[in-house]
Amino acid sequence: MDLDRLTSVMRKLALEAGDAIMDVYQRDDFDVRAKSDDSPVTAADEAADALISAGLRNAFPDTLLVTEEQADSHGEQASEFLIVDPLDGTKEFVHRRGDFTVNIAYVKDGVPLRGVVYAPAKGRMFFTRADGTSVEEDGPFDKDAIGTTRPIRVSTPDNSALVVVASKSHRDQATDDYIAKYAVKDMTSAGSSLKFCLVATGEADLYPRVGRTMEWDTAAGHAVLAGAGGKVVRFDTHEPLTYGKPLYENPFFIAYAPGVDLKQP
Kindly state whether residues 125 and 168 are assigned to the same domain: no
**Distance in angstroms (rounded) separating the CA atoms of residues 69 and 55:** 15
Q: Is residue 262 in a domain?
A: no
In this prediction, residue 139 has a pLDDT band, given cuts at 50, 70 and 90, of: confident
Mean pLDDT, range 133-150, rounded to an integer: 96
Residue 51 lies in a domain: yes
Could you give the number of structural domains in the chain?
2
**By CB neighbour count within 10 A (0-12 exposed, 13-18 middle, 19+ buried), where does 203 fall?**
middle
Q: Measure the CA–CA gap between 224 and 69, rounded to whole angstroms.
A: 22
Confidence class of residue 45 from pLDDT cuts 50, 70 and 90?
confident
CATH label of the domain that carries residue 200 = 3.40.190.80
Phi, psi of 127 (to 5 degrees): -160, 160
- For the stretch 59-110, pLDDT in tens is 999 999 999 989 889 998 999 999 999 999 878 888 788 889 999 999 999 9
Distance CA 184, CA 206 (A): 10
The CATH number of the domain holding residue 72 is 3.30.540.10
Q: Answer whether residue 44 is part of any domain.
A: yes
Instruction: Tell me the C-alpha distance between 209 and 112, whole Å.
Output: 18
Q: What pLDDT digit, counting tens, does each position of 163-209 carry?
A: 999 886 666 788 999 999 999 999 988 888 999 999 999 999 999 99
Same domain? 84 vs 168: no
Residue type, 43: A
Q: Which residue type is seen at 190? A: A
Candidates 166, 161, 195, 160; CA nearest to 179 is 166
Q: What range defines the domain where residue 99 resides?
A: 3-151
Q: Could you give the CA distance from residue 194 to residue 99 in angstroms, rounded to a whole number? A: 7
Confidence band for 38, pLDDT divided at 50, 70 and 90? low
Helix (H, G, I), strand (E, B) or coil at 143: coil
What pLDDT was estimated at residue 64? 98
Q: pTM of the prediction? A: 0.94
pLDDT > 70 fraction of the chain, expressed in percent and rounded: 94
Q: Do 59 and 178 sit in the same domain of this protein?
A: no
Residue that finishes a domain, picked among 84, 116, 151: 151
Asked if 125 and 192 sit in the same domain, the reply is no
Specify whether 187 is located in the same domain as 238: yes
Please tell me whether residues 134 and 220 are part of one structural domain.
no
CA atoms of 116 and 16, how far apart (whole Å): 13
Degrees (nearest 5) of the Cα angle 204, 209, 212?
A: 150
Is the domain of 110 the same as that of 133? yes
Q: How confident is the model at residue 129 (pLDDT cuts 50, 70, 90)?
A: very high
Does 59 reside within a domain?
Answer: yes
- Residue 148: alpha-carbon gap to chain centroid: 22
In a domain, 263, yes or no: no
